[in-house]
Every structure is written in structure tokens, then in C-alpha cells.
Amino acid sequence: MPIPFPHDISLLLVDSSATDRYYFAILLKRLEFNVLVSESSEEALKLMQEHSPSAVLMDSAFPDANRAEILRAVTAPGRNRNIPVIILADRDDQQLKKDCLEAGCSEHLVRPVEPGLLYRTILKTLTSTPREHIRIAIPLKVVIGDGTSHGGVERTEYTTTISEGGLYLRTLFPWPKKSSAPVKIFIHNRAIRATAEVIYNRPMTGGVFREPGMGMKFTDISQNDRKIVRHFIKEHLTSDIFIGL
């Protein structure tokens, strides 16, 4: 099964809390999913009939009867058959988890949910080969190479996107596929050090966002530096969501 891009996936968010609806709707849109929002089971059922979403994310606080009504709708024959339902629970209640999974839910997550876990869980319900890491579009200064013949001439470039697993480096001089190089990525004036391998390159006319460059995956990065990258991505996605509430 091909790996879907987030923007090809439509999600129905069903949540009785206005604050949680706002938070998850903004976060999911920043993760590049298409999002429909409902505050009641009645409205959710109507939206499912009109739009047939790829998956449903549902607040566990709905009464059992309301959850059952939605689950019956997504498992019954017709256009909404087999739509995965992911429960967003307020607490780690193992009986609730067991009941939800036995009723037909695909996954059960406990809030607060890390953006990376939410992203992977959604994709895992829709494909057997989900993408592993969130990718965000942001320009970060990168020093690539170490000035040696093996490590390449040291030069400064900038990212187009970065994830916990690698980056897309905007450059007019992409290296050949499978080339490896040391990189220093500057996040909040701190140098994150890694070794990265070129997994693809793009000429002037065809890069990400039509920018020339090369996609690189980290082949060696410390756990601490990986954690810093993960935290930076989470901060980029969520730090301002509650402004104005």
C-alpha cells in the first residue's frame, strides 16, 4: 500500500470540549491533515455521510451510547465502512481502553498526546508502512562537511524542512546519492551534530517546494541531540496554539 501524504488524509475530530477541539484542530492542520470538527455525535454522523473521512478521532468523554452510535456507523456496510476510530482519553483507564477496542476502535491514546505519537498513530491506522517522523518547514543554518577530503569541503547551507530522522538541505551543489557527511544544525544558537547520508538529490527545477537540494537521513546522532530536535519540532507546532483562548 502506498504511503499517503498527510494532505491526502481527511480526519473527523469529535470532541465535546471547545478547548480540546481548538487545540487538536490546529495541531492536526499543522501536521498537514485535512480536518473536520464536530462537538456532538449527531453532527459527526452527518459529517461522515457528507464527507466520508479517512479516520475519526473521538473524545472518550462521550456517553457510551453516543460512541456506540458512531462505531456502528463506521463499521456498517456502505460508504463509511471500516473508517478507523481513534479514541482520545483523558486518563489511562485500562477498562475503558479494553471496552473501546472490543467495540471496534482502532487505537486508544491518552492525553496529553505527543505530536509525534499522534502523527504516527493516525498514519499507522491507514497504511502498513507509515511515515515515522513529523517534518516541518523551517530554515535552519547548517554547516555541512568538515574540511577534510573524506568529509567534504565545509560550507554553510540552510534547511527547507527538518524531522527527527533527517532534513532537506537547500543547495545548488547537492552531493551524490549515498554520500555521507558530518552536519551541524543550529537550533536556538546550539549546534546539533550528526552524520547524514544523502538519500536523494534534486536539480534546480525539482526540489521540495521546487528548491534544488538534497534529502538526507541521520545515520549517527546522539540521543540527547535527537531529543533536542524532537522538542524543537514539538515547540514549533504547539507553543502558540493556546494564544487567544
pLDDT tens-digit series, residues 80-97: 557 888 999 888 888 878
pLDDT digits (tens, 9 = 90+) for 185-201: 999 989 999 999 999 99
For the chain, counts of helices (H) and of strands (E): 6, 12
Long-range contacts of 25-31 (CB under 8 A, 24+ apart): 26/241, 27/115, 27/118, 27/237, 27/238, 27/241, 28/57, 28/118, 30/237, 31/6, 31/115, 31/118, 31/119, 31/134, 31/237
Report the Cα 161 to chain-centroid distance in Å.
Answer: 13
* pLDDT for residue 45 is more than 60: yes
More confident residue, 240 or 192: 192
- Please tell me if the domain spanning 6-126 has the same topology as the one spanning 135-238: no
3-state secondary structure of 179: coil
* pLDDT for residue 210 is more than 90: no
Q: What is the DSSP-derived secondary structure letter of residue 208?
A: G
The per-residue pLDDT for 3 is: 46
- Domain 135-238, what architecture? Beta Barrel (2.40)
For the chain, the structural domain boundaries read 6-126, 135-238
Among 3.20.20.70, 3.40.50.2300, 2.60.40.10, 3.10.290.10, name the CATH number for the domain at 6-126.
3.40.50.2300
pLDDT digits (tens, 9 = 90+) for 131-173: 889 999 999 999 998 877 555 778 999 999 999 999 999 998 8
* Site of grid cell 517534518: 135
The per-residue pLDDT for 35 is: 95
> Which residue stretches of the chain are H helix?
18-30, 41-51, 64-75, 94-103, 115-126, 223-238
Contact by Cβ (8 Å): 168, 139: no
Using the Cα atoms of residue 240, residue 121, residue 227 and residue 186 in order, give the sign of their dihedral: negative
The per-residue pLDDT for 2 is: 41
- Count Cβ atoms below 10 Å from residue 227 Cβ, excluding itself: 12
More confident residue, 168 or 208: 168
pLDDT digits (tens, 9 = 90+) for 66-80: 667 777 776 665 555
Measured distance between the N- and C-terminal CA atoms of the chain, rounded to whole angstroms: 40
7-11, 14-18, 148-152, 226-230: the lowest-pLDDT one:
148-152
Contact by Cβ (8 Å): 106, 54: no
For range 203-219, the mean pLDDT: 78
Q: What is the DSSP-derived secondary structure letter of residue 98?
A: H
